[in-house]
């Protein structure tokens, strides 16, 4: 029996309008009602998904959790208590930022509680607005305001997949800190500390809860979900997942994220 479900949000749980369908909501609530832990495992900040947690009945709940920043932080929902972090150092963030600026690429820097964005394109602005993402603009290229903040991750956004691939290949050799490099949402290349990924954080949380690997289900759609799909006892790709994710998954839903693929998997494998 599955006791822990970790689930990506964008393009997995959320539909094209960034909403949780009624079918997904009902399946998740049924799983939690039978004693399960449903844990959003997202590249986003835990603070940015509080409305989603509220809809699912998980907001402010003890013994329910969020894995944020691609495994950069594990947070208990009651009081948003941060249980573990895997941050990047300032020098690495600054170096990646400087490379991106020289390439005229926009992006995001996540601290534990804030998001900073520089030069979003029109399409990126629309994407952020649709999801109600709250952020501050970067106005100081020295990034001095970040020196004393815990830095969770940095991501770069470009509409050209070839450009994203080139950045993913060229940046890690230029910095001293080992990086975990992933892609998400068909628009981002993301850089975390190598100790942070969705799979490692899933297993870390499972160990805390006394849950075995065989009792974990993971659902995702893109390369930043691969680590948790491979780590879980049952890895699931929604139908709109990338070819790489589908190949790694134990099960591929017939429904995509816009048609409650998450509910399909939960109902098939996780409900009594």
> What pLDDT, on the 0 to 100 scale, is given for residue 73?
97
Q: For 151-204, write each residue's pLDDT tens digit.
A: 999 999 999 999 999 999 999 999 999 999 999 999 999 999 999 999 999 999
Same domain? 129 vs 76: no
Residues 151/156/157/162 CA torsion (nearest 10 deg) = -150
Same domain? 71 vs 200: yes
Same domain? 224 vs 247: yes
Same domain? 65 vs 200: yes
Residue 132 has pLDDT above 90, yes or no: no
Same domain? 254 vs 182: no
What residues are paired with 189 via a beta bridge? 156, 183
- Please name which of 259, 252, 207, 258 lies closest in space to residue 225, comparing C-alpha atoms: 252
Q: How confident is the model at residue 133 (pLDDT cuts 50, 70, 90)?
A: confident
Same domain? 182 vs 223: no
What residues are paired with 43 via a beta bridge? none
Average pLDDT value over all residues in the chain? 96
Same domain? 174 vs 95: yes
Percent of the chain with pLDDT over 90: 96
For 152, residues 6+ apart whose C-beta sits below 8 A from its C-beta are 45, 68, 69, 72, 73, 85, 87, 88, 110, 111, 112, 192, 196
What is the model's pTM? 0.90
> What pLDDT, on the 0 to 100 scale, is given for residue 14?
97
Phi, psi of 234 (to 5 degrees): -130, 115
Residue where the block lists tokens 């029996």: 1
Q: Which of 193, 209, 240 is the last residue of a domain?
A: 193
Same domain? 159 vs 109: yes
Q: How confident is the model at residue 272 (pLDDT cuts 50, 70, 90)?
A: confident
Same domain? 24 vs 46: yes
Same domain? 71 vs 30: yes
Same domain? 31 vs 49: yes
- Please name which of 30, 175, 171, 157 lies closest in space to residue 89, comparing C-alpha atoms: 175
Q: How confident is the model at residue 130 (pLDDT cuts 50, 70, 90)?
A: confident
Same domain? 77 vs 115: no
Print the domain residue range for 251.
4-85+196-269
How many separate domains does the chain show?
2
């Amino acid at each position: 029996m599955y006791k822990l479900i970790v689930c990506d949000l964008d393009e997995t749980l959320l539909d094209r309008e960034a909403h949780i369908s009624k079918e997904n909501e009902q399946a998740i609530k049924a799983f939690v009602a039978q004693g399960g832990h449903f844990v959003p495992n997202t590249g986003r900040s835990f603070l940015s998904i509080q409305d989603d947690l509220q809809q699912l009945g998980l907001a402010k709940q003890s013994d329910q959790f969020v894995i944020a920043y691609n495994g950069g932080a594990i947070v208990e929902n009651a009081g948003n208590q941060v249980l573990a972090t895997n941050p990047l150092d300032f020098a690495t963030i600054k170096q990646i930022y400087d490379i991106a600026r020289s390439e005229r690429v926009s992006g995001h820097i996540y601290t534990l509680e804030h998001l900073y964005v520089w030069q979003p394109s029109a399409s990126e602005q629309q994407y952020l607005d649709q999801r109600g993402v709250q952020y501050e603009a970067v106005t100081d290229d020295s990034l001095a305001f970040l020196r004393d903040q815990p830095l969770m991750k940095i991501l770069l956004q470009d509409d050209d997949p070839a450009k994203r691939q080139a950045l993913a290949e060229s940046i890690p050799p230029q910095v001293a800190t080992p990086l975990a490099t992933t892609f998400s949402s068909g628009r981002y290349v993301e850089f975390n500390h190598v100790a942070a990924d969705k799979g490692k954080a899933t297993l870390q949380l499972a160990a805390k809860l006394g849950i075995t690997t065989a009792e974990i289900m993971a659902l995702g759609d893109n390369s930043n979900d691969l680590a948790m799909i491979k780590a879980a006892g049952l890895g699931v790709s929604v139908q709109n997942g990338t070819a790489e994710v589908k190949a790694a998954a134990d099960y591929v839903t017939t429904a995509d994220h816009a048609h409650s693929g998450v509910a399909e998997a939960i109902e098939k494998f996780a409900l009594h």
